[in-house]
Structures are given as C-alpha cells and as structure tokens.
Amino acid sequence: MPKLSPIRSYLASAGPLASRPGTGARLVAVLVLLFVCVVASPAYGDVGVLLNESLDTNVARITGSGHSAVYFSRICPESPVKLRLCRPGEQGSVISNYTTLGEDQPFEWNVVSLSIYMYGVEDPQNRPLFGSQKIKHALEERYRANFLAGYCEGATCRTSGKAEWREMVGATLSRSIYIFVVETSLEQDRNLIAELNSLPNQNHFNGITRNCAEFSRRIINTYFPHAARADYLNDFGLITPKAIARSFTHYGDRHREAHLRVLHFAQLPGTIKRSTECRSGTEQLYHSKKLLVPMILFADHELPFMAASYLLTGRFNPEHELEQHPTARSSDMAQEIREAKSEKDAPREQQLESMANQESAELVGTSQEWKQYREEFGSLTNEAIRRETIPDYDFLGRLFKYLDHAGTLSVDAHGALWLDISEGGKPAKLGLSRSNIFASGTDSQWAYALTLARANHYLKSPKHSREIMPDFKDDWALLAAARIYSSTSAAANNTLPSGEARATAMSFAQFQ
C-alpha cells in the first residue's frame, strides 16, 4: 500500500466519499483520485505556494494581482504566531502576511489550519455550502473567540472590517485558490520552524519590497534557494503573487524529484462578488481597456515592447498548470515524455501522453462529461419545477440572496451553520453545512433547492471558478441524496409536494 502525505491522509480521513452523499467532506474526493498513485516515505511532507484570485477591490481593480501565501502539510499552528510540527491527524496550515493583521501587536504573519483558512471551520465536514458576508463574518467571529484570545482584544481588532486577520478565515468564500505543491523533507520543515520561531514577528509591510509575494518568496527560498523569483520585467519592478507561483512551478518542472502537482479550490457559490483571475503587470495592461487606452494615448512607443514582453515571457495560466500537473505521477510522466521524444520513441511517447491526458481528464473533466451533467441537470430542474419544489429555473440564481436576507443565521459549537426561516408563520430550519444539510429537523424542500442551486452555479462557471471533477461528483451525489430526501419526506406527508413546499415555492417566486 502506498503511504500518503499528511495532507492526503488527513483529507482521506475527513469523511466518507461521494458514495455516502450528504456527509462526505469536500476535500475527500480530491485526494483519493489526486494522489493515490504516489509512493512516499514516512518522512514525506509538502510545501506549496497559494495563488489567491483577485478580489477586484481597491488597488486590485487596477493591478489584478491577487494574493500570495504558503501552505505546509506537516507544520501546524502552536498559536497564530508560532509554528510546530503537526500531530497525527492534523491537517497542515497556511501562513500569510498582509498590510496589517490589525491585531494588538503589529505581527508580520499569522498561521492557521488549512481547513480554517479554506472554509473557516476546523473540521471540513462542517464547511458551508454557500458563502455570504453574514456567513463569513460569523465564522470570523467564531475563530476570533476560539483562537485569538490575547492577540485580538482591542476594539479595532475586534470590530474593524479592515483587520486583515479576517482574510485568514474562510478564504474560499471570497475567491478561488490554486496551490502549487512540491515535496519537502522533515529536516527542511524543522529548519523552517526554527527560523520563523526565532525571528522577530514584526510587520514591516510595504507594497513594493515587503509584500505578500515577497513573504512567500522568502519562505519558499528557505526550502529551495532561488526557486521563487520576481519578474521585474513583466511586473514593472514589483514582486507579484503570479510571478512567485510561475517561477516556483518552473522550478518544480525542472526537478523531477519535487513531484510538482497543483490543487484547486473553487470559490463557494453565494452572494459575495466573484473573484477574478490573477494577472501580472504586462498581462493586466494587455487585457485591461482601462489601462490600454491611456497607454495608447500617452505611451504608444512603449506599448509594443510591453505586449511582446508579456507574450514571450509573462504568460502563465494556473488552470493549464492544473491540467498538466494533476498528480505527482503526472509530473513523472511529463519527464518521461520528454525523454521519449529525445530518444524518438514515438510509441512510448504516445502511450505516456494518453496516460497523462487520462489523469488530467479525471481531475478536471472533459467537455463531453460536463455537457452530460448539464443535460441531466436540466431534466432534474424540470422535474423540480413540476413538483413545485422551485417555481422556475431562474429562481436558482436568486436562492442564495433569498436565504441571506430571509433567514436567521446561527453557528453551533462545531462550526456547522444553521438557518431559521419563517414562511407565512410556519418556521423551517435548514442546515447550511455538509454535516447537517440532512440532519433531523431540516426542511427537505429547502435542502433540495439548495443543492440544485449549488450544482447550477458550478455548471455555469468558467473553468477557473469551477470545482474540479471529483468535487463536483461529490456535489452531484449530494444532489441525488437531497432529491430522494425531498421525495421521501413529501411522500410521508401523503402529498407531492407538501402544502408547506407549495407555500415555500410561492414565496420563492415573489422574491426578486
């Protein structure tokens, strides 16, 4: 049996697979397919560069640069500002810095567990099914109460929306994330822990020479000297998240023993504005009309040079890297393909390319596969409309907004989310997390509508905003279970749909 890395073993034990819909963890299906072929020693670990998509707010509207952070599979938080090796069953962590974390001391960085960073909860089974500012704020406040005692006692830290420790909680509610991962040794992880724990954790952030990308570069280069580099030419002298991800990926490509692979976490559907793809400086100029027109008017001589720089040296597509490096085995195969080409062994080259394409297809899905899911979804939606579970197809695009406005949100002790709704004087309860959507007392019609809306969102999303195929199959199994749950509950009341479901559907139809 191959031994799994810490992130793999954690995610593989986080809950049942899609064959048991409704209770499985979002992270589970990813790793069973993604890493099952990798053989690793007990000393195996991971480090990865996070490339967080741009929020398209403030300066990011101009730069489109996004955010950079670092993932560890074997390093965990002793506290938000101190590292240690993970204990058995722990999931690893994400470390990052910001303009200001807003805490009582001016710390340079904070570290949180992987699941808290991605979903705002310790256990990925309790991750939310959709995102809103209310949900994110509730998870932030729970994290502050449970983990920031002694670090966030001042009024500004507790109440300010600009305190950027909040960005460390439930990041996928706000944006999609790619992680470019390579292997590390136990000695490397221990050295990194010793170094960061011994150095002053004091903020000296500035947007040019000590920003989030430069912080990621320093950490990565502690492991692998010169593996992460700035791209001053395409970023006009700055250090950007995309340059660090791009150079680190090239490092992984050149070092077969690193076993480069790429992870993708899609932004949750919901009412929060959709994130946008990260861009380098020349790339943003190349694609943005807001910047291109002034350049044509005032710097037309430099424009061809900048366009050539981007086209020749600056292009980097995270989604393409995901397709090319879905597993550690795919990185090995890429090297074997290059060797087969150099040896002019065409049959071997074709065989390897076929295997690599199959691994990529299993992770991201084929066009035909996504088309089939859309067709099946159309049939399910028509059935739901006939049953009056939902009033029409357009309602699915409005459901998240409706739930955000109409319900009263609460978070239980484990981080699972609940919504209390009153329709026509009749109370209803809905679990908004993977762990409780089918819990006792939840409304089956609401649950089915929610899973329909979630699937609808991802089927309509572009690649960079869409779940990978194993995750979507897990969602599809959840949808199938919700359909059965809805039908069974309605049948138990001797009507399809129930009177309550009709009233709910009418209420849905009135909401715009």
Could you read off the pLDDT of 48-92 as tens digits, one per residue?
999 999 987 655 555 667 999 999 999 999 999 999 999 999 999
Query: Contact at 8 Å (CB) between 242 and 278?
Result: yes
Could you read off the pLDDT of 398-442 as tens digits, one per residue?
999 999 998 999 999 999 999 999 866 788 999 999 999 999 989
SS3 95: strand
Residue 393, number of CB atoms within 10 A of its CB: 14
Instruction: State the alpha helices, DSSP H only, in 273-393.
Output: 281-287, 289-298, 303-309, 318-324, 328-342, 346-364, 367-386
Reported confidence tier of residue 384, pLDDT bands at 50, 70, 90: very high
**Whether pLDDT at 20 is above 90:** no
For the chain, the domains span 46-276, 281-315, 326-363, 367-510
DSSP 8-state symbol, 131:
B
Q: How far apart are CA 181 and CA 259, in angstroms?
A: 8
**Whether pLDDT at 21 is above 50:** no
Q: What's at 340, amino acid-wise?
A: A
pLDDT of residue 1: 33
Task: Give the residue, 332 or 295, on which the prediction is more confident.
Answer: 332
Query: Contact at 8 Å (CB) between 262 and 326?
Result: yes
For residue 57, count CB atoms less than 10 angstroms from its CB and return exposed for 0-12, middle for 13-18, buried for 19 or more: exposed
- On average, the pLDDT of the chain sits at 84
Query: Contact at 8 Å (CB) between 383 and 492?
Result: no
Of 103, 197, 191, which Cα lies nearest the Cα of 147? Answer: 103
Of 94, 250, 88, which Cα lies nearest the Cα of 182? Answer: 250
Lowest mean pLDDT among 15-29, 136-150, 281-295, 374-388: 15-29
Of 125, 123, 107, which Cα lies nearest the Cα of 115? Answer: 123
Q: pLDDT over 90 for what percent of the chain?
A: 68
E strand residue ranges, 347-486: 408-411, 417-423, 426-431
pLDDT of residue 238: 85
Could you read off the pLDDT of 213-248 as tens digits, one per residue?
999 999 999 999 999 999 888 777 889 999 999 999
pLDDT of residue 298: 45
Q: How far is CA 38 from CA 10, 17, 183, 379, in A?
A: 15, 20, 11, 39
Q: Which two three-digit tokens encode residue 70?
A: 């670092």
Q: Which residues contact 1 (CB under 8 A, 6 or more apart)?
A: none
pLDDT of residue 53: 96
Q: Look at the block and give the residue holding tokens 């991201």.
A: 364
Cis? peptide before 497, omega within 30° of 0? yes
Q: Which residues contact 207 (CB under 8 A, 6 or more apart)?
A: 59, 99, 238
Report, as an integer, the average pLDDT of 331-352.
90
Q: How far apart are CA 314 and CA 310, in angstroms?
A: 4
Q: How far is CA 502 from CA 195, 388, 389, 429, 512, in A?
A: 62, 6, 7, 16, 18
Reported confidence tier of residue 2, pLDDT bands at 50, 70, 90: very low
